[in-house]
Structure 1
């Protein structure tokens, strides 16, 4: 550049150029931010859809699991009732055998055994 002093017009033109460059940069930033905002909204909508799908899948699996668990509980109840009936039946048989043994002991005049 020359060693001439800056004129007022030249200084104003340089200031205007700098200001216009700043405005262009700001405009570019706005358009980039708008683009990023659109991308972000798209990602959020996609994430919402994924979460909704996962929740629906979990609910379906939960219903299936509850049904299977209910069936297992029914089977367990049935097994306990059968066992209980069997044990009661054995208890009745043992009681009958003890009564019969007492009658045999009495018939043979044997001393009764003490059931501690």
Structure 2
């Protein structure tokens, strides 16, 4: 090579070439990707078979199991309704309380705490 001093651009290009070589060694090849694709397809087929067998098993189960499941769903619906009723009830109580506080403030000519 020359005895001339190395230019900054030439040095940077050489560093970039070295980094690109490192990146290429880490990149997946087409063979790697096709192997992954085959593995993924195999997993999907396996999952489909599992789901199909679960559905078939559920269809074959007796009425007792379905009845128990139905009772659990009814219990869950009841619990949600009770919770919803309770929450709505608290909202009504708070609204009534706010209205009463406003009336007391007006009666006593107090400034309203409400920012609106």
Give TM class, smaller chain: 0.3 to 0.5
* TM-score for both structures, normalised by structure 1: 0.44
Q: Which has the higher helix share?
A: 1
TM-score by length of 2: 0.44
